[in-house]
Structure 1
Amino acid sequence: MITNNTQALINRLKTLETAVIADVMVAMGLESQVLAPSFLSLGLDQILIGPAICAKGCVEAGDDAKTTFELDDCVYPGGIVVIDSNNCQKGALIGDNMATSMKNNGAVGFIVDGGIRDAVEFITLELPILYKYKTPINAHKFFSFTHFEVPISIDGIWGSVTINPGDLIIADSDGCSIIPLQHAEQIIADSEVHQQTENNIKLTIKKGETRKNASAKFPRLQHVDKCA
């Protein structure tokens, strides 16, 4: 369930860009918060924002194996389902029936560190998704979920990205940034200032100033403190 405080943060995120947020997090020392470019996307012509609903699994899970239906039960309105597959290459981890069920429970999007199928249905369902590959074959002969709503780790551009349940996700046509909930207020506040700075630089350049002079007039990221 999304709290009032989290919803207020989400509302502020709607005015920001992933690039601005990534700049701020790097300046804060949070350098492994952006997903790898190996993630493909569908339906990200509009911004995707929400808290992470985390799931992880693996091939040959043994006694730890859980059913896919248990993931449905973890979903709440406004959440983004994030699946850590432990690099499963055996097929699709999610398709249209799972996606439809989770949308009914309130999911607004997905991040799958692995395969998907029924890809066109994600567009029909208006469910943005980031994923690694498409395939018609189901992975669940080999792959099983093992844990829900625990910290997970998926591929990032500068190293693995740790995602905790409730961390805020913002994705657009540039890619996806993961905002640790414990630092979200500072990240968003600093990003609001940084985005205004970027806009000021752009307007100054459009008026005929050089980029060097515009950047000198509006220094970037000097307001950002390292996170504790």
Structure 2
Amino acid sequence: MSVSGSLVTVVIADDHPFFRDGVKRALDNSGHIQVVGEAGDGRQALEMIRAEQPVVALVDYQMPELNGIDVVHAVIRDHLPTRVILLSAFTDSAVVFKSLEEGAAGYLAKDTPRGEIVDAVLRVAKGQTVVPAELAGGLADQIRLRAKSNTPVLSDRERQVLAAFARGLSIPQTSAELFLGVATIKTYAQRLYEKLGVSDRAAAVAEAMRRGLID
């Protein structure tokens, strides 16, 4: 594991340079953390993690090339010592639970105050798991629900997107109907695919029908 003296080494991966810069400044200025690399997409992030083997990697949940979950899977598959914290604008409790279930060491909202991100990195470096405090109750609900059933828990918006797909609407058409941006619909669609274990709209509708989520 890469360590610089007593400093916790970190790689930051996000496709927005402005966000990366702000987080890097906060981590470097903490006096306890050293950022040893930055990446703008998932594939570059994984290459950097392999090369540097930082203690912690802060990885955007959605990035070009490989997404955050893909990076987590690769880190685990390759037996790398790095612990991955996922960052996202979306903090749906089901998505957070799934991320931890897949092997992430933590999950934070991208608007988390920089001081709290510093604290999260230090806690994860010590072997702890971090999630937004406001999701603690939601995660407990997810654990109880998943213990009772294998049926995924969908948010109201995810159900609206799924219903649109079931009517044969495309992502742009769904975007227009729900008055949401195409990128936002794509995000909800990706979350649906992950929860249902599929990779496209048709398969999502078929799997949702099989599980009784839609008629």
TM-score normalised over the length of structure 2: 0.28
Relative to total residues, which structure has the larger strand share, 1 or 2?
1
Greater relative contact order, per chain length (Cα 8 Å cut-off, separation 6+): 1
Q: Give the TM-score of the pair, scaled to structure 1.
A: 0.27
